Chain A
Amino acid sequence: MVQLQQAADARAAAQSRVRLELLTELVRKDLKVKYKNSALGFIWSLANPLLYLAVFTLVFGVFLKNNVPWFAVLFMSGFLIWSFFNSATLDATGAVVGNANLVRKVRFPRVVLPLASVGFAGVHLALQLLVFFLFLIPSYPDAFGPQLLLLVPTLAVTVIFTVAMSLLASSLNVRYRDVQHLLEVALLAWFWLTPIVYPVTLVRNELARAGVLWMFKFYMANPMTAVVVAAQRAVYVHPVVVGNDGKLVQVLPTGGYGFYLQWLAVAAVASAVLLVIGLWTFRRLQADFAEEL
C-alpha cells in the first residue's frame, strides 16, 4: 500500500512538473512569436509604460499641476502593477478561443492557456521592474530601504488576483464572446478608479470633505487599489513630502504599515475567494470547450 501511494505521488509530481514545463514552453513560444522579426524586440515592452509616463506626466504634472514631486516614481510603481494585471487579463480572455484548433484536437490541461497569458505578462513585469529599479538607483535612492519588502506580499496578491480573473475571463469568453468587449470597457473604468495617476489621499480628502469618509472603505476594497497603494508605499517611501509649491503634501496614508497590510489582507482574501470561483468555473466549462469552439 505504501509503495503504491509513493508511486502515485511520484506520478503526480512528475505530472505537475510536466505541466509546469508546458507552461514555460507556451510562454517561451509567445515571447518568441511576439519578438521574432522585430529589430528592437524586448525594448518594445518598455515603450508602452514610457509612453504612458510621458503623457501622464504632461497632463498631471504640467497641465493640471497635481503638486506631487517625483510624480514619475509614484505613477510607475502603481502603473507597472496595473499593466501586468491589465494585459494578462485581456490576453487570457482570448487564450482559449485563440487556441481553438489545439483545444479541439489535443488533450492537454486547458488551464495552462490562461496561465500562459499571466506568465507572459509576468516576464514583462519582471523586465520592466528591473529597468525601473536600475533607473531608481541614481535618481531616487530613497526607494532602496527595508520598506521595499512590502512588494513581496503585494506582488503575491496581484498574481493571485490576476490568475483568478484570467481563469474567469478565459472560460466565460468561450461561451459569451462579449466578455472580451465588456472587459475592455470595464478595465478602462477600473484603471481610473484605481489611484494610479492620482494619489489615494486625494480620494480620501474629497470623501472627508463631502462628509462620507465611510465610503473610503469601499474604495479601498478594490483589490487593485490595495496592491497599487502598497506598491507606491514600497517604492515612493515617503507618505508626506514637500510639494512643488514648497508646502507639505500628503501623498500616501501615514501611520505605519498597518493600513497597507490590512488592506492587502482584505485583497488577499478576496483574491483567494475569486480564485476558487475561477477554478470552479473553468473546470465546469472546460468540458464543453471543444464543442463550443
Chain B
Amino acid sequence: MGAPTIVADGVGKRFLLHHKRATSLKERLLLHRQSSSEAFWALREVNLEVGASQTVGLIGPNGSGKSTLLKVLSGILAPTTGTVAVRGRIASLLELGAGFNGELTGRENVFLNAAILGLSRRETERYFDEIVAFAELEPFIDNQVKHYSSGQYVRLGFAVAVHVSPDILLVDEVLAVGDESFQRKCLNKISEFQQRGCTILFVTHALDLIPRICSRGVVLDHGRVLHDGDPVEAAERLRSLLGTGADQSGGAGLSADRPRVAAVRLFDPAGGADKGHFRGGEAMAVELDVAAPAGSAPVTVRMAVTGPADVPMWVMESDPLHPGPDGTATVRFTVKELPQIKGIYAFAVAVRDPASNVTYDARRFGEAFLAVGDTGTGVLEVVWTTEQVER
C-alpha cells in the first residue's frame, strides 16, 4: 500500500432540514426569530484512509451516507466537521451525463462534458474516437442528445468520464446502468484502471461485485463506518444488517418452540388469486403465517426483497404482531405498485423480537416471483403497507 491518496479525518456532514426556510430577503426578515430547522447528520466521525491503487467498495443501506461521503470526498460538499485531503486528479462519476445539453449533438456534448470534467480540448480530440467507440455510438454521434435513449445517454456519459484518466475515481452506482454487455465493459475498464494504479472508491448495491473487484469493503450505516476491511465480510455484514443473510440463526435458542415462519403466500391483492408472475406497476400482496408458542411476546416480521443480481431492493417491516390464542399470526404486506424493473426477485424473511432485535427465524426464498417490466434499471420507489390479518 502506497502513501494514502485520500485521507478523511473525523469527517461529519450535517444537513439542516428546514421546515420553514428563508429563501428570500422578505422571509429572512420575517422568519428571523422563528426559523425552525432540524439538524441531520448524514455522516459522523468518518475516518477513512485510502492508499494508492486500492479499490474500496462502499456499501450500506439506503440513506446511510454513501453518496454524501463521495460528494464530500470529491469536494462537491464541504464537510461540517473534520478534514478531507486528496492527492491527485480526481474524477467523480456521481451521475453520468450530468451537464449534457439535449439540444447539442453527441459530439458537441463530448467536448463540453470533457471540459467540465477537466480535460483539455487537445486531449479530448485525441480520445474522441475512442470515446465514441466505447459508447458504441458511432452512427448517432452527430444526432442531438435529446433523441438518445437513456441507455445511449449514460453510455456516452460513462465513456467521457472514464477517459479523463484520473488518479482517483469515485463511482456512485453507475455500474447499474446499461445492458449486460455494457456492464461487462465498464468492469473491464475498472480493472484497467486498477492495473494502471488508480485509486477507486465505489458505491454499489450489487453485493456480489464487492468481493470480485474490491480489495477492501467499507460498510456505512446511519453515517458511521460499521465495518472497514475484508470485502467478503463487508458484504456479509450488510446482508445481515438488511436481514438478507443466506441463513441466520439468531441468538435465541434454536429450540423448536421459538416463533418461526410457517407459510408464505403471494397473490394479487385485488382478486386474491395466488400468482408468481407480476408486471411492473401491478400490485402484489405477500402473506406470512408466523407460528409461535402459545403466549409468546409480540414479534415483528421483516421482509427484504432482493432484485436481479442479488441487489437488495427494499425492506419492509411489520408492526409488532400479537399471536392469537393458538400462537399463530398472519401479516400481509401489500405493495401498491411494483417497480418497472424486470427480473427474478427473491426475498428473505426474518421473524424478530422487537425488544431485543434477536432474530428467531430467517428464511430465504430464491426466485420468489418474476416481474416483467420495461427497463433493466430505474428509480426505486416502492409504496407498501403492512397489516396484521385476522384469520
Contact = CB atoms under 8 A, between A and B. Distances in A.
Interface of A: 14, 17-18, 21-22, 25-26, 28-29, 32-33, 36, 99, 101-108, 176-178, 287-288, 290-291
Nearest to B98: A105
B34 interface: no
Contacts of B95: 101, 105-106
Nearest to B99: A102
Contacts of B76: 103-107, 290
Contacts of A18: 115, 118-120
Contacts of A25: 111-112, 115-116, 121
B119 A107 contact: no
Given A105-B76, A106-B99, A26 B112 contact: yes
A85 to B, nearest CB: 24
B127 interface: no
B26 interface: yes
B97 to A, nearest CB: 10
A106 B94 CA distance: 7
Contacts of B359: none
Contacts of B104: 29, 32-33, 36
B90 interface: yes
Interface in B110-126: 111-112, 115-121
Given A26-B112, A178-B26, A108 B117 contact: yes
B277 to A, nearest CB: 37
B173 interface: no
A159 B324 CA distance: 80
A288 B111 CA distance: 28
12 contacts: A21-B115, A25-B112, A25-B115, A102-B99, A105-B94, A105-B99, A106-B95, A108-B116, A176-B23, A176-B25, A287-B78, A290-B71
A97 B94 CA distance: 19
Nearest to B91: A107
Contact of B77 (A14, A32, A178, A291): A291
Nearest to B123: A18
A102 B78 CA distance: 16
A101 to B, nearest CB: 6
Contacts of A105: 76, 94-95, 98-99
B201 to A, nearest CB: 14
B26 A107 contact: no
A178 B25 contact: yes
Contacts of B77: 290-291
Contacts of B28: 176
A103 B77 CA distance: 10
Interface in B15-48: 15, 23-26, 28
